[in-house]
Amino acid sequence: MMGPKRRRLAPSSPRIKRKDVSDCEDSGDQAYTSSYKETSLKRKSQKQNKRRHKSKPDDDTLNPRTKSGLTRDNILHSKSAHLIQSPGVVRAALLRWYAGVHGSRGMPWRKSYDPSLGLEDRAQRAYEVWVSEIMLQQTQVATVIPYYTRWMENFPTIRDLAATNIDQVNALWKGLGYYSRASRLLAGAQKAVAQYGGRLPDNAKDMEANIPGIGRYSAGAISSIAYGERVPVVDGNVHRLLSRFLALHAPPKAKATLDILWDAAAAMVELEKSPVDCSTANSSETTPIERTQYAGDINQALIELGSTICKVRDPGCHLCPLRPWCRAYAEASPGLSKRTDAIPDIEDGCSLCEPLDGLFDVTAYPMKIDRKKPREEMDIVNVIEWSSSTRPDDRWFLMVRRPEGGLLAGLYEFPTSTNVSKATSCAAQTKFPHTLLSGLLAPTVLPYNKGQQTISTSLECLQIKSITAVGDVVHVFSHIKKTYRPQWVVLAGGETPPALKCGNDEPSGIPKLNLIDGGDDGSSTSLRPRGAMWVQLKEVANTNMGTGVVKVWNLTKELWERDVGGT
């Protein structure tokens, strides 16, 4: 049940430096076989074990979360150490634990599996699970719950979602971040309605292959939870849990590492021909959920255990139902066996695990990788305001829509000069608004002249009245550290918001102007083509913007509210 035991090499043995899987299998085996005979390894390992037992204090009660004194780089172990040897017993203990915590976090999408549901009801469950899984990517459960509730109120079925548009989807997603997730949900729903009768495919293979935004993990989660298909899942929580359970210290994104973890997850979800008797897992009682061992419950139990107990830092090993079989826990616990007896064949040695230098505990698993430092970029953000000379309180702001692909796809922002040099002078920055406005607006725009006293009010001609630096806003994406440098640009001229270019003169293919009515009083709150629009002051905060742009807007408002006493 514990799997093949490990043995330690004598201190004089060479350390195998493993850089990748392909190198390990050749050079690693040669290093072992050229330096030692298997019998010699056994003798040295046994002698070292005897010396260790003699020197070990009788009152050694170190907690497994403390440094154990065991150095992993001196442990030789079999490839089969990274297999779950008795998945039935482990699964039974896992499900017993999960039965007690199933509803503890109040997640509205988590429901008990009902095998009696018909096809339509299962498809509805698949939609609910899909929405929750996409929302939970890179986002905590407590944050997701209110967003999920609002989403299901507005789009209760996959057909309701497919019938909406990206603006409505982004409006509900606002504040949740990673907006590409929302656009993929919409695209996936539209394809499911168009090609699959308004239902997600009932198996993971077709789901992953044909529905946009659904990868191997999401397909496995949806198919197992909603349709009962016996397919594994490996997300970040399961990756960490199984890496510790198997004491797998290997490059976490390497194909060989992922293959081991997916195989282990599959072993957990696939029942044996003779299902284990749940009563063997140190309990006199069993529950229906344990006896049936539904695939979705097993997968959710693994995810829940990794999320709440086997955490990145400060894991609750004393609460873990898998502790008796956890190899990382055993290695980090001085009072437990370290599996030091010999492996059956030297060629069966694991060539994937990297050395662990010095002392370690269970949090040494999975193997840490050097995170790539986010690249740094600076954008000049032009918060462009226009107001009528006769109605100065009627203030409008120019916003443009980002492309449908890439970062913050489909969201609105203020006209921006992207990725400019941090050495750009203040004088150079004041020239950006004129360039942008000349491309977006139909009337002629006169350039900003700091010393100019007379401001044009011609209907055919606009004047940049003032440009005020606002201050820097730093916003960090997963791969970019973005510095937004906003400037408040006041535009004068005309009695209505300046027309946006259309027809042959429009920039970047912006379509013709459409008037959008929206105010509670019947007034127009935005004038826009698809790619750009004028938005009234009171509606700017309700526009679908990314978090960084919201920060820019709030900082700009503080500037004029403080200095000008604006709205």
* CA 9 – CA 20 distance, rounded (Å): 22
47 near 35, Cβ under 8 Å? no
- Please state, as a whole number, how many other Cβ atoms lie within 10 Å of the Cβ of residue 40: 12
Residue with tokens 């967003």: 147
Using alpha carbons only, what angle is made at residue 299 by residues 306 and 111, rounded to the nearest 5 degrees? 105
H or E segment at 526?
strand 524-528
Cα dihedral sign for 29, 33, 39, 41?
A: negative
Task: Give the type of residue at 164.
Answer: T
390 near 407, Cβ under 8 Å? no
SS3 396: strand
Using alpha carbons only, what angle is made at residue 28 by residues 24 and 32, rounded to the nearest 5 degrees? 165
SS3 189: helix
**Which residues lie across from 488 on neighbouring strands?**
383, 468
**Beta strands 532-536; 416-417: pairing state:** unpaired
Q: Dihedral, CA atoms, 412, 414, 418, 420, nearest 10 degrees?
A: -160
SS3 386: strand
**Which residues lie across from 182 on neighbouring strands?**
none
* CA 526 – CA 539 distance, rounded (Å): 8
Using alpha carbons only, what angle is made at residue 284 by residues 279 and 285, rounded to the nearest 5 degrees? 80
240 near 357, Cβ under 8 Å? no
Q: What is the DSSP string of 320-354?
A: -TTGGG-HHHHHT-TTS----SPPS-GGGB--SPP
- Please state, as a whole number, how many other Cβ atoms lie within 10 Å of the Cβ of residue 349: 19
* CA 560 – CA 557 distance, rounded (Å): 6
**Beta strands 444-446; 461-469: pairing state:** parallel
Residues across the chain: 567
Catalytic residues, by residue number, are: 133
